[in-house]
Amino acid sequence: QQQLKRGRRRRRREIETEIEAKRLVGFASMTLKQG
């Protein structure tokens, strides 16, 4: 059970990183549009 928890946490971190990357990309594209 401990291993399952660890894997789930790792996956959640990957999802958070993906969301952060998408947010950065969106912010960059917005800045480019403004410029």
C-alpha–C-alpha distance, residues 7 and 4, integer Å? 5
C-alpha–C-alpha distance, residues 17 and 24, integer Å? 10
C-alpha–C-alpha distance, residues 8 and 3, integer Å? 9
Look at the chain and count its residues. Answer: 35
Q: Can you give the pTM of this predicted structure? A: 0.56
Per-residue confidence (pLDDT) for residue 12, from 0 to 100: 86
pLDDT per position as a tens digit, 1-35: 566 666 666 788 899 999 999 999 999 999 988 86
- Cα 13 off chain centre by: 8
Q: How many structural domains is the chain composed of?
A: 1
Domain that holds residue 6: 1-35
